[in-house]
Amino acid sequence: MDQHLRGLLTAAGIKLPAEGAQPPALSGGATARGPREEFSAPPESGDLAGVGPAGRDALMEALRYNVVAYTPEELVVIANKEFAWCDNEMLRASRELGFGDDWKKALEKVKNDYVAPGKMIYLVRELQKEALAFIDAHDLVTIPPLVREDWWEEAMTPQMQLASPFFLGGDVIMVSSPASTMALEERLEVLRGNNTNFSRGTVFHELVPGHHMQGYMSQRYRVYRAAFHTAFWTEGMAFYWEMLMWDLGYDRTPEQRIGVLFWRMHRCARIIFSLNFHLGQWPAQKCVDFLVDRVGHERANAEGEVRRSFEGSYEPIYQCAYMLGALQFYALHKEFVVSGRMSHRAFHDALYATGNMPVELVRASLAKISVSRDYQPNWKFYGTVTG
């Protein structure tokens, strides 16, 4: 290990072994990363493709089920257009930091602003408080008192982080953090990949008003719609909040904006790499390289992202649902709030009260559009798309 890396790890509070020492082996012949019995081990890093490409027919069927009126090819065009917006904003933030058009150097500065091992629990708490204060100040949504308090945190095991290198959330927010059984380089990648400014948006995405609040409200309003749940509602709404709070000025400094833009670029990239993979056009390794080169991921985190995407438990368009679902909610916001038809609070309260279902049907509910048994997707929430 070079001295620069040792210096970074030491500054992060990681106790280093002597030069040349290996991470300790675990009992039972387990790898140094450590198993967790209730979490199935992901494939080895060389096997990133999981169950393999789903094919175009499966993608079209998944889009029809989720009531999305675009083809996979049109969705890639949408993702590239959103990526271009991210590129421009990233360059603007990079220039503000004095890095000119070398946005990856600006990203490196942001990645190296992380808390010491063991301190992430306090960062999560403070970031959630900051988000709640902003939401309250702008009267954006009604938050039940219990939702503000009834969540807790857990650290993901090293084995879990092989496929989930970032936060997971709900009533529990699960945090990636370095562990003594990890190789030293892996610990640094965890710290850099979950730095202060990257965490700024992911905390409220996972907790309030994101997944934690979604779960709470879905158990109390129109619970019968759980049978029609879709990631376009769940992930899309959580990411929509990131987009809306950007518009309202939540992200002020260039470092904060870069942290948010990283995730926005990531969600664009998810559409591009996952659809190209399932269409049989990209191998899994190209997806990893794309995340590293185009978004700026740490390579181990990019590999974890690709493993998670293709290991078989997610539907083939799940990774598209973050950005595309958010764009659907963003279009609804323009239609009902920007137009003056509803206030922010009334609109967002209605979103939670409708229950989890395809976003085009949420629109039908808000607009009182009649839906027949043979209803087909027809809402062009992004307008007409041409290649």
Report pLDDT digits (tens) over 64-116.
999 999 999 999 999 999 999 999 999 999 999 999 999 999 999 999 999 99
Q: If we measure between CA atoms, which residue out of 265, 253, 134, 254 comes closest to residue 203?
A: 134
Instruction: Name the burial class of residue 46, with classes exposed (0-12), middle (13-18) and buried (19+) by CB atoms within 10 angstroms of its CB.
Output: exposed
**CB neighbourhood size of 310 (10 A):** 26
Give the span between the Cα atoms of 257 and 263, in whole angstroms. 10
Ramachandran quadrant class, 340 (left: phi over 0; alpha: psi -120 to 50; beta: rest):
left
**Strands 172-175 and 152-155, bridge-based pairing:** parallel
Pick 193 or 211 by higher pLDDT: 211
**Consecutive H or E run containing 378:** none
Lowest mean pLDDT among 18-27, 94-103, 199-208, 236-245: 18-27
pLDDT of 40 above 70: no
- Cβ neighbours, 10 Å, residue 99: 18
Chain CA centroid to CA 174, Å: 13
Residue 163 pLDDT class (50, 70, 90 cuts): confident
User: Looking at residue 338, what DSSP letter applies?
Assistant: I
Question: pTM for this structure?
Answer: 0.85
Distance (Å, rounded) from C-alpha 347 to C-alpha 333?
Answer: 8
Separation CA 245–CA 310 (nearest Å): 31
